[in-house]
Structure 1
Amino acid sequence: MGKITNELAKERSRAAAERTLMAWIRTSLSLISFGFGIDQIVSALQGVSGDRNEAVSLSRNIGLCFIAIGTLALLLAAFEHKQALRRINRGNFTYTSRLSLTFVVAIALILVGLLAFIGILF
């Protein structure tokens, strides 16, 4: 009975780690989207006015910073998620870790964030 209880506790801990990573995905996606939105608005305003002043440059840099922060936060959250799964997997228990769909989504969003950052930068 104790072994089953321990396995269920590990599964609950794994599910909690998944929910935490999903919360970080939502937060990071919001930051990346906000930064991309700022850049799109600045580009549209620049196209209408035709001039490039310091305020436009500063706004674009702020948008890039939001994208960078969102991407970095997601990268760190994915790393912390993997560490949490390793801590859960310690011991004499028979729990077998599996590939997390949330982790795959996190990696995909990291790549999207990097592509958005590079696309805006160049």
Structure 2
Amino acid sequence: MGLLGQPLGYYDYLTFVALILLLAAVMALFLFIMGLPGRIAIKRNHPHAEAVKLMGWMGFLAIIPWVHAFIWAYHDGMTVDIRRLPEGEREAIRKEIERLGGQVKDEYRAPAADDPQKT
């Protein structure tokens, strides 16, 4: 007997199967999206791939950590602050920027006494 006092027919069982398949597809999509940042990081040889993978799985329900993991998967995390490099390396980077046509701004250097531009 069905819920309304009528026997369950062929279409009722077909509906149950369709709902179960739909639920399985939604769960598979959910799991695929949760693991996406980790798979991207591993494929791109990210230095923190395991952390990105864990953050993708753990942060999905709160959404914001998952978005951060997704962005982090594309960012290599190897940002170098040239203000803290040795002087020789800093000078080589400065020359390379000038060679490429850029204007070097060194806000952290004290202006020299004979420097026409004083900041």
TM-score normalized by the length of structure 2: 0.37
| Higher RCO (Cα < 8 Å, 6 or more apart) | 1
Larger Rg: 2
TM-score normalized by the length of structure 1: 0.36
Greater helix share, structure number: 1
